[in-house]
Amino acid sequence: MFSRFRFLLAVSVALFATVVSACGGGSGEPSTATPTPTPNPNMVRLAPSQDATLYEHDEGAIASSVSPTTFVGVTNRRERRRMLIAFDVTSLPANREITGVRLEMHMSKSASGAVDVALHRVTSAWAEGTSAASGMGGKGTAALAGDPTWLHAAYPDTPWLTAGGDHIAEASAVTSVDNFVRYSWSGPGLAEDVRMWANGAVPNRGWLAIGDETRQKTAKRFDAREHASVDRRPSLVVELAPLP
């Protein structure tokens, strides 16, 4: 009789422990543990490999390559700003079809209302230098050797063929930019650029972002890859066809 009592007691204790655990411990509230998200096998998110701002300057001697911000558009002094940005796509799987591409960037300062910002495929080699504009970054700083500038793909010895950066005239994607939020650029042109870079059809020189340059005070500031907050840095999202 005593043995049977001990058995029933043990079963009751085990059942009680199971119920308490399911309810989130002794608090009487459900567990709030967040499940680990499952990675999407059909999507790859890439960080920029380099970025920089081109500052309009008669001598091409102003630059900023490693500042936490970049600029596009026209300032109140009627000086143009353009942004270079590139991504290393060599990690993309060679046996997967690219079905979509989305560039995401966070806009953090504006001199105007809504303006279109276009992405153009760059056609000449360039590299991120070492100059870093101080303060808000809008005025740039003295260019250092290797910096891209308005006149140079690499200061001071390698000029662009065209001032302001060599690029395809037709935009790969265009997005209207207004308030201080994260924006995305997408479309068939952007996806085709990445496909060509991935299969080696054309060299990967990245994109040149160009804002509204038809009037003054259209400048927009975007957070760059060096920004302290990871969630405000640019990223490239590549969508892949599911495996059969």
Please give the residue that has the higher pLDDT: either 9 or 130.
130
Residue 36: per-residue pLDDT: 60
Whether 222 shows a pLDDT value over 80: the answer reads yes
Q: Do 235 and 102 form a contact (C-beta atoms < 8 A)? A: no
Residue 10: per-residue pLDDT: 45
- Is there a domain that residue 13 lies in? no
Residue 39: per-residue pLDDT: 83
E-assigned strand segments in 122-198: 141-142, 152-154, 158-159, 173-177, 182-186
Please give the residue that has the higher pLDDT: either 212 or 12.
212
Partner residues linked to 238 by β-bridges: 44, 101
- Is there a domain that residue 6 lies in? no
Distance CA 111, CA 137 (A): 14
- Is there a domain that residue 63 lies in? yes
- Is there a domain that residue 55 lies in? yes
- Is there a domain that residue 7 lies in? no
Q: Do 99 and 186 form a contact (C-beta atoms < 8 A)? A: no
Residue 200: per-residue pLDDT: 97
Distance CA 230, CA 148 (A): 24
Query: Taking residues 126-138, what's their average pLDDT?
Result: 94
Residue 135: per-residue pLDDT: 86
Domain that holds residue 89: 43-240
Using the structure block, give the residue that is written with the tokens 């990690």: 91
- Is there a domain that residue 151 lies in? yes
Residue 244: per-residue pLDDT: 85
Whether 165 shows a pLDDT value over 70: the answer reads yes
Q: Dihedral sign, CA of 44, 226, 149, 183?
A: positive
pLDDT single digits (tens) 66-124: 999 999 999 999 999 999 999 999 999 998 999 999 999 999 999 899 999 999 999 99
Q: Do 54 and 219 form a contact (C-beta atoms < 8 A)? A: no
CA quadruple 214, 217, 218, 219: dihedral, nearest 10:
130
pLDDT single digits (tens) 7-28: 444 444 444 444 334 444 444 4
Whether 172 shows a pLDDT value over 80: the answer reads yes
Q: How many domains does the chain have?
A: 1
Integer CA distances (angstroms), 14 to 2, 6, 91, in order: 19, 12, 51
The DSSP H or E segment spanning 90 is none
pLDDT single digits (tens) 29-77: 444 455 566 689 999 999 999 999 999 999 999 999 999 999 999 999 9
Encode 44-75 in three state secondary structure: EEECCCEEEEEECCCCCCEEECCCCEEEEEEC
Distance CA 234, CA 219 (A): 18
pTM across the whole model:
0.84
